[in-house]
Structure 1
Amino acid sequence: MLTVGLFIPCYIEQLYPEVGLATVRVLERHGVRVEYPEDQTCCGQPMSNTGCTEEARPLAEKFLRLFRGYEHVVAPSGSCVSMVRNHYDGFLAGQPGFDHLKRSTWELCEFLVDVLKLPRLEGAFPHKVGLHQSCHGLRELRLGSGSERRVAPFNKVQLLLSELRGLQLVELARQDECCGFGGTFAVQEEAVSCMMGRDRLADHERAGAEIVTGVDMSCLMHLDGLIRRERRPLQVLHVAQLLDRAEAAA
């Protein structure tokens, strides 16, 4: 049986623990044994993104100590996985086990597609769903082709969702546009961040979405705040929760 180390981002642990539990259930349904190192902490992305690199360094080093012994590490977050794969070099380059850790740390959907190579998912989710493609997942992990690249179209998250009975993916006018969250950007540039979020929600509404899903709960948290404050007729659901509910209904 394949064993993975489960990394749960700090904001999911503190605010959306159900996303972590859904991730475990999805992995276990597909024959994966999940271990959760209880000493894990934040990956250091917030500090690194704001220029506090020395404050981020001990968190990167701790991540390596906790997870380098696993064949694979899986997380329900594109941005945190991208932090490990694309931004840890300045902290960990040359340290034992780091090259393996970079190659073997996966966002949940890409793990299901690229490692488990699932031919299809058995499940039902009879709703109109809008897929929000977060910037880190799309442009750093390459979960999808992106409209600005001259490559054959692909989308790993959409591939999984398209297998679910009754699920209708709505067609967005600007399918890979940023939601405006950007971590501390949402605090430092609140007005711009909210305008970008409203633009994304308007696109989903025009397309007829009932539910907005994605691989980053941070982006969905930002959008959900706007939805609730403005009483918009939308719901957000992390892709792990959506897959978990759909498979449970199979």
Structure 2
Amino acid sequence: MSRKALIAANWKMNGAKALIDSVSGALAKIQVDAEVLICPPATLLPLFPQTATLALGAQDISAEVSGAYTGQLSAALLKEAGASYALVGHSERRQYQFESDELIAAKVKAAIAAGLTPVLCIGESLTERQQEKTQQVIAKQLAAVYASHPKLLLKSVIAYEPIWAIGTGESATPEQAQQTHAFIRNTLASYDKDAAQQVRILYGGSVNAENCAALFTQPDIDGALVGGASLKPEEFAQICLSIKANAKE
């Protein structure tokens, strides 16, 4: 089964109606051979124009279905607001909200149960990379989700984001990124051969219009999770255009 490329934008705590209009306008002018996903602040989800060419996602979800959880948003609420995807386990959530691998696995499960596709974010810190623990860290993050339910990974998208490259201007080289993506796919194969073939693995970490094309040529990189560059409509459109038409298998 082929894997259709996916370009996802994480606006983080940025954006307004004006940015929605600018990004939507820039994307409307181009024809993209990939699925395009925007993850804005949740309050902006209902403001996006409904279009068949643009998917929307949340930046986080609650592991709970409903109840007395002030400030949290359930998968069902986000789906009603227009989301079809949800980022889960972003490094900023792991760092600032102290989210554990077990909580992240519960969020993946909640997303899938509500009909959302989770984008599971994984990656290592600079210290862990320097200590050559990248594969160990990633294997542990994947194992937590697999242990929660064997089929969760098959129904997810995975985003590899080396923490040392997020918002720093430093990006992994295409070869470094491919090496880790291949490890992720091999790990998936050890769990589920179908997952290894079907699951899309995105690269994130200072992706921009200058470095994306070389990243997209790598066999196990199926797209990108874009941060700062996604707030620049013309640059984000250029990133979307850089993905090649041929689906990967």
How high is the TM-score relative to the length of structure 1?
A: 0.34
Looking at secondary structure, tell me which structure has more helix per residue.
Answer: 1
Report 1 or 2 for greater relative contact order, CA contacts < 8 Å, sequence distance ≥ 6.
2
How high is the TM-score relative to the length of structure 2?
A: 0.34
